[in-house]
Structure 1
Amino acid sequence: MNALPIIVATGIAWLIWRVVHNLFIRSPLDNIPGPAPPSLIRGNLGQLFDRHGWDFLDGLGEKYGKVVRLTGILGHRILYVFDPAALHQVIIKEADIYDLPEWSTDNVRLTMGPGLLGVHGNQHRRQRRMLNPVFSIKHMRSITPVFYDVAHKLRSGLEVQVGDKPTTVDILGWFGRTALELIGQGGLGYSLDTLDTPAPNPYGDALKEFLPALFANSELQFLTNYVKKIGSPAFRAAMIDWLPLPALHRVKRIVNKMDTEAKNVYFHKRNAFQAGEQSVLKQVEEGKDIMSVLLQANMAASEENRLTDEEIIGQMSLLVIAGTDTTSNSLTVVMELLAQYPDIQDKLRAEIKQAREECGEDIPYDTLVSLPYMDALCRETLRLFPPVSFIFREAQKDIVMPLSEPMISVDRTTINEIPVPAGTTVIVAIRPVNQSKDIWGDDAKEFKPERWLSPLPSTVMDAHVPGVYSNLMTFNGGGRACIGFKFSQLEMKVVLATIISTFKVSLAPNAKDVMWNLSAVRYPTVGNDSDRPACPITLECLKV
C-alpha cells in the first residue's frame, strides 16, 4: 500500500507526457490518410478490436489505400500496412528494425512463457534453429500415421453421434478436440483428448477460451510497457486481482490452468526420460512427436545452445495454443464451404476415393500432400479466410518505408515513401493483401479453388508478397514465419481425407445464424451475442 501513491503519481505523469507528446508534437505520419479516432483515450482501438469489426477493417483499404494511419491509446500513431513493398521491408529486408513490440513479447512471456513469440534476437534464432528439424518434411512423414490414428478416433466419435440419419453436430467442438489431440500426440507425445465420447475436454475448453479472452483485453496489452517495471512480479500479479476487470481475471485463470497442464506434461516426460523409463526412452528414440525430438536434440546440444526447461515449456504452450485454434477453425471453414458448394465436395471426395484405391485407406504423406484438388481447396480457404487477420510490429529506430505505388497524402501531395519514426506500431494486415484485386484479379474476393490448378496471374508473382506460403501472408514470412505451417497443413489434409470419405456434409438448419468473429484467431459463434465458440454442420454417413 505504501507504493500506491508512487504508482498513482507515476501513472499521472506518464499520461500527461503521452497526451502532450501525441497531441501537440507533429509527426510525419500525420500526413498519412486514415480514419478519425472516435475516442481520445482509445483512438481507433475500439474499432480494431471489435469482434464484429470486419466492415471497419475491410473499409480501411477501400477508403484510404494500402498504408493507413490509425490512432492508438492517447494518440499513439499506428500504421496499418498491406502494400507489398512496405511489407517486404517490414517482414524480410529490415525485420530486425521492425521487431515484435515489447508489449507483445512481454504478454507472450506472461501467458505462455519464453517461447518463439516471447523472445528477440539471438535467443529467438537459437530457439528456431533447435526447432527447425522437428518441422522438416522427413519428420512430417514420420508423424503422418500418428495423425491418422487421431483422425480415425474423430471419425468413430462422429459415427456414434451421427448414427444412420442426417444429424447436426457442433463441428467446431469436434475439430477443436481433434486439433488438441493432434498437437498432443504429434507435438507432445501425450494424449490430451481421447475423442471417445462427445463430452468436452476441460483443458481443451480452456484453450478455446484463451485467444478470444486475450483479444477482449487487447487494449490493456498496450499498457504492459508502462507497468512492467512497477514493483515485483508478485506485486503486479496481485494488481490484476485488485483491478475491477472480470475479463482480465478470466485470462489469468485460463493461463494458470494451461501453465499447470504444460508443466505436468513436460516434467513427467523429462524426468521419466532422465530416469531411463523404458516406455519414454522408446518414445523419444522413435522421435514421432516434437517434444521427443526436441528432448533428444537438447540433450545432444552444446551448453550454450541448449534450451532451458522454461524455454521448452514455452515452446509447448505456444505449440498447443497456436496449433489448436488455427487448425480447428480452418477445418471448420472448409466444412462450411463444402456444405455451401456440393460440387466442390464431390470433386474432393472423388479425388480422395481414387487415392485410397491406389494407396490404401490411409493415404501416405507424399501422395496426400500432392493431391491437387485438396491442395487447391486448402490454399484457397487460407487465402480468403486466414485464421489471423493482422499481426503487430514496432519500428525500433527511424526508417523510411518504401511503397509499391505512389499514394496521395493528407495535404494532397504524391508520396513514394513514408518516414517512420522509432516507436511506431506497424500492423501487418494479412487479410487485405490476401484478397487484393491488384494482386489476385477482379475475382479476388470469390471462393475459387480452381484458380490454383492453372498458372496464377503474373501480378501474383510480380507483387513479391513476402509470405512463406503460396504468395500469401497467411503464415507470415521471414525469420518469424509460422514454423509449424507444414504441420498444420498435414493435420488439415489427414482429417479431410478421413472425414470426407465417410460423411456427406451439408448446411445445418440454423447455418444462417453462424457469425465469424474477429479475434486473435477468428472463430464462429451461433448468433452475434453468443460468447461460446460453435459451428453447427449437418453430417450424413455415406453408404459404403
Structure 2
Amino acid sequence: MSLIAYYTSLLGNISPGLAGIICLASSTLLILIGWVVRTRILTPYRHLPSPPGLSLKHNHSSLTYSTPFGQKWGDWFKTYGNTIVVRVAPYHREEILTIDPGFVRYVHANVNDFEGSPRLGRAMVDMGIHGAISCAKGEKRQKIRAVFERSCSLAAMRGYFPRFINLAYKARDKIMEELESDTEKRSGKKPINPSTHAVGYQMGIVSTVLFGFNEEDIAKGRSTEVRDTIMAFHKARSELKWWDTKSLFRTPRYRRYNRSRDQLAVVGKKLLRDKQEKITRAFGQDLKSDDILEAGDDIISTWCRLNMSKDIPASQKISDQDLADNVPIAMAATLDVSRMMIYEIIHRLASHRDIQDKLRKEFSALPEEPSLDDLAKVAYLDAFLDELVRIDNAYTTIERTCTRTCVVPLHDPITLSNGQTVNSITVHKGTDVSIPIWNLSADERLYGSDATEFRPERHLDGSTKGAEGGTAIHATWGSSAGFSGGQRGCPVYQYPLAFMRAFIFVMVRSFEISEPTDQDVKIWVSSSAERREHRVNNKPVTWIPTIFKPISQDV
C-alpha cells in the first residue's frame, strides 16, 4: 500500500491531493528529525564549541567566500574559542576551524595524519588536471614536490636573481617613462596606477624565468601565445559553476572550459617537447644529474632535465603529462603572489615612510645590481618580508583532511558544552580541518599585543613573540603560516622571496613612494575567512593611487 493510500484510509474521506501533501510534510519532518539526531547527537563532535544554527544556514562556499550574516571567523574565535566545529549543510560535513598553535603544529608536523583537502583535488580532477601537485597523493606527490623543490631551491634562485634585478629595473624605467610624460606626476602632485608596472614585472618573470623565452621568442609572440592560452584557461575555469561538471548535459561554460583546457594541453606539451629537444641537442642522450646547473635556462627546463637524467631512477620521475599538468599551477602561483605585490608591498611602503627610509639606508651600501646573498644580509629587508608574509598573505586558509583517527594536543584547553575542560581532542578520519592564516597571524600570544599592526621590528628587537611564532606552529619560513608548514609546506617559497627582494630593492632605491594626503585607504574584511579587499575613501578599488618621486642619484 502506498503512503498516500495509507493516509487516505487512515484519515477517512480526504482527497488524494491532500493526502499527498500530508505525506510530503510528514516525510520532510522525519528527515529533519533524523538530520538533527545525526548532527547533534550521533556526531563525535557534539560537545565541541560551535556557532549556533550553522547547520541549516551554510554550505562550504559561504564559509570561504561570503559574509555569514555579518559575522567573521575572527568573531567566532573570540566568542567560542580557538578550536570550533562547523556543521556544513546540506550534506553534513563537519569541519574543524582552528587557530590553536598546538593543533596547527600537529597538523604541520604529522603529514601522514593530515593530507591535503580532497575538495581541491576533486576540483582539479573535474577540470582534467589529474597530475597537478594539488591533487596528487602519496609517492606521486613526493616526486612532484621534489621536482618543484630542486627547480626553485636557494641555489637556483641565486642563478636567476640577476634576471629578477634586470626585470625590476625595466619596471622602474616604465614608471619613469610615465612620470616623464606628465609633469604633475613627476612632481608628485598626481598619483599613478602602480599595478600596471607590477604586473608587467610579474609577466616578465613568467616569460623569462618560468618559461625561459628569449628575445627571439618574445619577438615571435611565443610568450604572448602561452600567456594568453593560460589566462584563457584560468578565466574559463573561474567561470565554472559546480553544476557544470556534474550535469549530464555539458553547459556552454563547460564546453568553453574544455576547449581552453585542450588548447592548454597542446601548448604545454609543445613547450615541453621543444625544451626536451633543446636539452638533447646540448647534452646528448647521456644527461646526468650533475649536468643540471644550479639554475637551468628556466624553471620548466629544470623540470625537464630532472626527468631526463639517466642516473635518476625511473621510480623517482614523473610523466610528461604530469609535467604539463603542473605548468598552469606554476603560473597561477606566480600570479597569486603578484596580487600581494600590487596591493601590499607598494601600499605598505607608501603608507610607512619610516620603513622606506630604513630600507633605503641599508640598501645604500649595496651595489646597483646586488646578488641574492647581498640582499639576504639586509636584516631589515628580511623582517619586512616576514611581516608581509605574516599579515598580508595572498591566501586565506590552509585546508587538510584527517586520514586516520588521532588525538591532537591543544595549546589552549577548551571547555566542552558538557562542562568538561580538555587539553586534546580526537579528530576522526575524514574530518576536514581549516586553518585561517590571517586569524592565526593576529594571535596576540604569538605576535604581541599589536599583532594586527604592520611592524617589521617585531622580528628584530625581541620585544615581542614574533620569532617564537614560526617555531610554535612549525612554519616553513619565517614566523607565520604564510608558506604553510612541515613537509607539506610550500616547496617553492624561495622563488617569491627572491623576486620580491629584487622588486623592493629597485623601487626603494629609485623612488620616494607615498599616497595622496586626501586618500584614506582601508583594508575591508569582506568574508568570514578574513579575505581582504582595499577601499579608497570608502570605495572598493582594483588599484591604489600612488605617488612616485624619482630619487635623482639612483636613476
Q: Is the 8 A contact 2:95 2:433 kept in 1?
A: yes
Conserved 8 A contact 1:172-1:329:
no
Name the amino acid aligned to 1:537: T
1:413 deviation in Å? 2.1
Q: Give the Cα separation in 2 of the matches to 1:533 and 1:121.
A: 40
Equivalent of residue 142 in structure 2, options 84, 104, 125: 125
Q: Is the 8 A contact 1:387 1:521 kept in 2?
A: no
2:158 to 112, 130, 141: 141
**What amino acid is the match of 1:473?**
A
Distance 1:306 1:149 in 2: 33
Determine the C-alpha separation between the residues in 2 that align with 1:319 and 1:351: 33
Q: CA deviation at 1:493?
A: 0.6
Mapping for residues 312-461 of structure 1, pairs under 5 Å: 312-330=323-341, 332-355=343-366, 360-455=367-462, 457=464, 461=468
Q: What amino acid is the match of 2:150?
A: P
Whether 1:157 aligns to 2:174 is yes
**Residue in 2 that maps onto 1:478:** 486
Write the mapping of 1:31-46 to structure 2, written as runs, cut at 5 A: 31-37=47-53, 40=56, 42-43=58-59, 45-46=61-62
**Cα displacement (A) at 1:458:** 5.7
Counterpart in 1 of 2:18? none
Q: Percent identity?
A: 19
Q: Does 185-194 or 464-473 show the bigger shift?
A: 185-194
Tell which deviates more after alignment, 378-387 or 25-34.
Answer: 25-34
Q: Is the 8 A contact 1:212 1:520 kept in 2?
A: no
Alignment partner, residue 210 of structure 2: 187
Residue 147 of structure 1 and its aligned partner are, at CA, apart by: 1.1
Alpha-carbon shift at residue 191 of structure 1 (Å): 6.4
Unaligned runs of at least 5 residues, structure 2: 1-30
Aligned mates of 2:73, 2:217 — CA distance in 1? 39
Name the structure 2 match of 1:96: 112
Q: CA deviation at 1:124?
A: 0.9
Aligned partner letter, 1:455: G
Query: Aligned pair in 2 of structure 1 residues 149, 63: CA closer, same or farther (>3 Å)?
Result: same
| Structure 1 residue corresponding to 2:547, chosen from 538, 541, 544 | 538
1:38 positional shift: 5.1
The match for 1:502 is 510
Cα distance in 2 for partners of 1:309, 1:154 equals 34
**Residues 1:512 and 2:521 are matched in the alignment:** yes
Match of 2:251 in 1: 241
TM-superposed deviation, 1:154: 1.2
User: Relative to 1, partners in 2 of residues 1:284 and 1:86: Cα closer, same or farther, differing over 3 Å?
Assistant: closer
Unaligned runs of 5+ in 1: 1-15, 228-235
| CA-to-aligned-CA distance 1:285-311 (integer Å, 9 cap, x gap) | 671422222211211132222221111
The counterpart of 2:99, out of the listed 77, 82, 87, is: 82
The corresponding residue for 1:489 is: 497
Distance of 1:473 and 1:30 partners within structure 2: 29
Q: Structure 1 residues 193 and 96 mapped into 2: Cα distance closer, same or farther (>3 Å)? A: farther
* TM-aligned CA deviation for residue 351 of structure 1: 1.7
Per-residue deviation at 1:533?
A: 4.2
Q: Distance in 2 between matches of 1:332 and 1:389?
A: 15
Residues 142 and 288 in structure 1, CA contact (< 8 A), matched pair in contact too = no
2:21 aligned residue: none
1:371 and 1:273 mapped to 2: Cα distance? Answer: 37
Post-superposition CA distance 1:389-412 (Å, at most 9, x none): 202111123222221121112233
Selected match of 1:307 from 318, 339, 346: 318
Superposition deviation, residue 328 in structure 1: 3.9
2: CA distance, partners of 1:145 / 1:131: 21
Q: Is the 8 A contact 1:153 1:195 kept in 2?
A: no
The one of 158, 177, 193 equivalent to 1:170 is 193
- 1:192-231 to structure 2, matched below 5 A, reads 220=242
- Quickly say closer, same or farther: Cα 1:240–1:87, change in 2 above 3 A: farther
Contact 1:113 1:313 in 2 (8 A): no
Residue 24 of structure 2 aligns with which residue? none
Q: Which amino acid aligns with 1:489?
A: L
- Opposite residue 445 of structure 1, the aligned amino acid is T
CA contact (8 A) 1:515 1:527 kept: no
Which shifted more, 62-71 or 284-293? 284-293
Q: Structure 1 length normalisation: TM-score?
A: 0.80
| Gap change, CA 1:239 and 1:56, over 3 Å in 2 | farther
Count of matched residue positions in the alignment of Structure 1 and Structure 2: 501
Counterpart CA distance in 2 for 1:518 and 1:525 is 13
The residue identity in structure 2 corresponding to 1:169 is I
The CA deviation at 1:445 is 1.4
Residue 320 of structure 1 deviates from its aligned partner by: 0.9
1:153-209 per-residue CA deviation (whole Å, 9 max, x = no partner) reads: 21122211222523433323332332232133222213699999xxxx797688789
Deviation at 1:503, TM superposition (A): 1.8
Distance 1:36 1:213 in 2: 37
Deviations 1:450-487 (A, max 9, x none): 11222364685386211111231110011211111111
Q: One-letter code of the match for 1:297?
A: L
1:68 aligns with 2:84: yes
Q: In structure 2, how many angstroms separate the alpha carbons of the residues matched to 1:71 and 1:192?
A: 54
Cα distance change of structure 1 residues 310 and 348 upon mapping to structure 2, 3 Å threshold: same
